[in-house]
Structure 1
Amino acid sequence: MKSKMLPLLAVGLALVGCLHAQTPAAPKLVLPQASPPATLKQQVGITDIEISYSRPGMKGRKIFGGLVPYGEVWRTGANTATKITFSTPVKFGGADVPAGTYELFTIPGEHEWTVIVHKNMSQWGSYAYDQKNDIVRVTAQATTLPTASETFWIGLNDIRDTSATLNLTWEKTRVTVPLVVDTVGLLAPQLEAAIKAQEKPNAMLLFSAAMFFYENDHNLPQALAWMNAATAARPGQMWMIYRKGLILEKMGDKAAAKAAAEESLALTEKEKPGELREEYTRLNQALIARVK
């Protein structure tokens, strides 16, 4: 009897295995989160900034001075502590912060906040916050908005080659921290090295380098030299010669700026009628009017 039962048991187990294999897997459930995660990525100059945080909502609650008490450390969002990453050194509210990943804490106040860049401890909330791990603390004014923002959000705005503003907004409160990056100090040596390494003049490299220096008010004589080299490598380009005029204008050489604008305008008049011709006619005429 025992020997007969063993084959039957084996068959039974095999059938159970087959039935189990044919049973479809339960669908993976994804439920909405009370404070959904968000990631903000923004380039400022050549600096990459990334912010990872969670976005709580008002949901009928009083936020600052209520859900988020004044005078206490806040995680600046929800769930895990908000993280901010800089790919290069920055000035955060005027204070130096090295490149790296940090936690972003705040101490809200009715009229001003303390904004804290803190060592990355990968902590949940601010329960284990320790001031000894602060990298910098800065003070920022709280402004009142005319309408409420239902959901907390962090933004990077007013973006230029060398600066941006970090905005924290929720309810009717906004706090802004200025960020400054040394884009010129980082990029100028690279541009100079690339131009020195040219086997033959690269007009677009020279043009781009000249305009970067011009737009950032850096070493305008070098910008002019590069623009002259660009126009020599690629002569007869109205858009290059117009921008040469802009550099000369900024250097205070009105006569040379006017001559460049007139040269560009003469080239513009040879273009087919259309938007490009109209644009450069207007730009050159405006430059000539400014340097008379």
Structure 2
Amino acid sequence: MDLENKFFKLNGDTLVAIDWSNVYGWHDDLGWEIDPDRLFEYLNSYQEIYQKNFYFGKDDNNKKTEGLHQTIEDIGYSLISKEVKWIPVYLEKSHFKKVIRKLFDTLDKLKVSNSEISNKLYEITKKVENLPKISIGKRGVAYSLSNEKQLKEIYDLIDKLDKTLKKLNVNIENLQHQLIKPVKRRKCDFDVEISCDVYNNLNRMKAFMLFSGDGDYAALVRDVIKKGRQAIVVFGPNHKGKEYDSITKGLFLCSVNKLKEFIEQK
């Protein structure tokens, strides 16, 4: 790659850390995907980059991840991996507690309203049954309430509405039951591993390039800057933590869109 096409100006020996779970999640907002092979080729064009660490969890229930691990090693990255954990999270006991409580209250009110409507339909049925067998007219058009076919249509409609409301109440109860069940949250953070690798490389590392916009790394990046190293954070659109806003000096923030021509999957 020609020097003029290089985007970064590195201060010396550079360690690159790629938090792949974070990076892979960018593609929905990007509208394009990052090719690990092309990314490696691009990073390899910088002679200052001496190590390219690729952090990605291993999920025994997902065969695709196993294949990706082998691919990453074949490309030439230093792969750092560990088992993915699936942590049960109870929505009603998490930071969603207030939202879930409001949702439950709304659903309860909806069930009450449905029951009230159902009762009104029953009252209408009784009133229709008690109507005298006469004809009424409006604007010159007469309707015979003694007509059995018409009465049957009215009863069928009321019965259909009643069944729909009862079914809706059952669905609401099922939804409420599902909301109190735990959901499994994927957990495979590499904060500790990346931090350890950074500190183990301080003697050689003059620059640190991180592919992740996760704000959890802001403290690490801030410390790297304090130690006199160059810090570069590559992030995806809508994936940059607000924690980086407080770092006003020494940090170079780069949208991954600026690297699209070099690393987009073809």
TM over 0.5: no
The structure with the greater share of residues assigned to strand is 1
What is the TM-score normalised by the length of structure 2?
0.25
What is the TM-score normalised by the length of structure 1?
0.24
